[in-house]
A and B are shown apart, each in its own frame.
Chain A
């Protein structure tokens, strides 16, 4: 057991060495070569900034029904909560609209013929190009930010659900029909949906990645005074590049974490019937 653990750590030696040397080189370059905290904050600058956003408390208004209270929370956590709120508004919206749409398009040829050309025209528009309309239609509120993430996440979900439905092996549909499952609604629920699930899960994963990338831009145009993306611009205006880097790194790590969690959930819960699946 102990030997095993040692072996596995030893197996990761190159990876650990790679990260540690990158940090040392970064520190040395920042301190001795660049010598300018504005151009390149050092590793220690960033660590101190990180400590500051974690230790500094701020008020976070909790307002659930009649329960209203100010709770003290670290700044970073408040930013995180705001960003996750923006993110999930967009993701849930994209999920609720994209999934049924992809399903109907994949199952009914007529629906595909109606919506496919429209989607093909709208899809290539970069999500960030929607910012002006996000502001005019929805305004400077969390839903405005959510709208941009929605646009980014919608198409991967539609396309992958659609593809999953198009590629359902015919044999499963026929087997279900012969067993007495004959209505479209039942066939979709009992055959098409589970069969297309790997593709749908892959679509959600791609959508989350795209949505996460839209987050910084979505918080740029002043939808709130908090949020990981918003703080990048806030600290840039204050010339606190060490704080900018802290928020960049947090965005990166959080994106990685969300992706890993989703993968764990999908592989563990939804797709145990598939072995050696890679999404």
Chain B
């Protein structure tokens, strides 16, 4: 990829980001306060924190769907002002276009970038293969299970060949089994592709299983409470001692935060 320039690509810099919500012009909620964060290329970072702490808001700001009131976000040294195809996003809600087949959902991004349809479909096969849904390419979303929908959503985001993949509790509404198998699948994809992943979750277990680093945010207003480096080698065993030690540690500070709220 010609436009990528060396070590800058896939790097996310959040500098002094604040976000204030104004309701009816009167009551203010400070959702994020002065967030500073550097995320390296190809890093897998999870965000956890008490509910309503602004994790999703931070992700939306990085995607460009929301704009900060203070501070800036740079991805690959480029200032983010609007959403763009270099930052893929997978939402918590099912966001597949219900009027398009699985295949047409996946090629939507490439078509918007001006890729020819035949070429886009050829490429899309690869991504559907990656999430093991090739045989469902002509199905409509309503014919798929929740886990399958999220896999298609991942394939759709990857089809744009993003440098950064933003995931907002993508497995939040799935049952525990599907969730575990999708986590493994995501790790496989992440290892195959050159990709930085920012992953919001409310599950400490999920964060410890997936992340290189875990960013814990405080209760409102959201500030960075603690950044934990997870140096357990992959594949990680959810029942191992070190896994549970880290889990307990994180659960404890999360509980503290919940009380402070």
Footprint of B on A, CB under 8 Å?
Answer: 171-172, 174-182, 186, 190-191, 194-195, 197, 272-275
Contacts and interface: CB of A to CB of B under 8 A. Distances in A.
Given A179-B109, A179-B156, A174 B142 contact: no
A190 B97 CA distance: 10
Contacts of B83: 174, 177-178, 180, 182
Given A172-B97, A273-B98, A179 B112 contact: yes
Nearest to B166: A178
Contact of B82 (A171, A182, A186, A194): A182
B84 A180 contact: yes
B68 to A, nearest CB: 17
Interface residues of B, number: 29
A173 to B, nearest CB: 10
B108 A179 contact: yes
Interface stretch (B29-37, B87-95, B195-203): B87-95
Contacts of A171: 91, 93-95
Contact of A179 (B64, B82, B99, B160): B160
B99 A197 contact: yes
B227 interface: no
B112 A175 contact: no
Given A273-B140, A274-B142, A180 B109 contact: yes
A235 to B, nearest CB: 48
Say what secondary structure dominates the interface of chain B: loop
B65 A178 contact: yes
A176 B156 CA distance: 11
B236 interface: no
A185 to B, nearest CB: 12
A174 B95 CA distance: 9
A273 B95 contact: no
Contacts of B98: 273-274
B62 to A, nearest CB: 11
Given A172-B97, A194-B99, A195-B97, 8 more contacts: A171-B91, A177-B82, A178-B157, A180-B84, A180-B113, A181-B112, A194-B100, A273-B140
Say what secondary structure dominates the interface of chain A: helix
Contacts of A273: 98-100, 140-142
Contacts of A274: 98, 142
A178 B97 CA distance: 13
A175 B85 contact: no
Contact of B88 (A174, A178, A194): A178
A182 to B, nearest CB: 6
Candidate in A176, A197, A272 with the most chain B CB atoms within 10 angstroms: A176
Contacts of B84: 178, 180, 182
A187 B155 CA distance: 21
B112 A180 contact: yes
Contacts of B142: 273-275
20 contacts: A171-B93, A174-B89, A175-B89, A175-B97, A177-B64, A178-B65, A178-B85, A178-B89, A178-B157, A179-B85, A179-B108, A179-B112, A179-B160, A181-B112, A194-B99, A194-B100, A195-B97, A197-B99, A273-B141, A274-B98
B52 to A, nearest CB: 19
B13 interface: no
B243 to A, nearest CB: 33
B140 A175 contact: no
Interface in B17-76: 63-65
Given A171-B95, A172-B95, A175-B97, A181 B65 contact: no
B140 A272 contact: yes
A190 B95 CA distance: 14
Nearest to B96: A175
Given A179-B109, A275-B142, A195 B99 contact: yes
A174 B82 contact: no
A180 B160 contact: yes
A178 B157 CA distance: 9
A135 B95 CA distance: 51
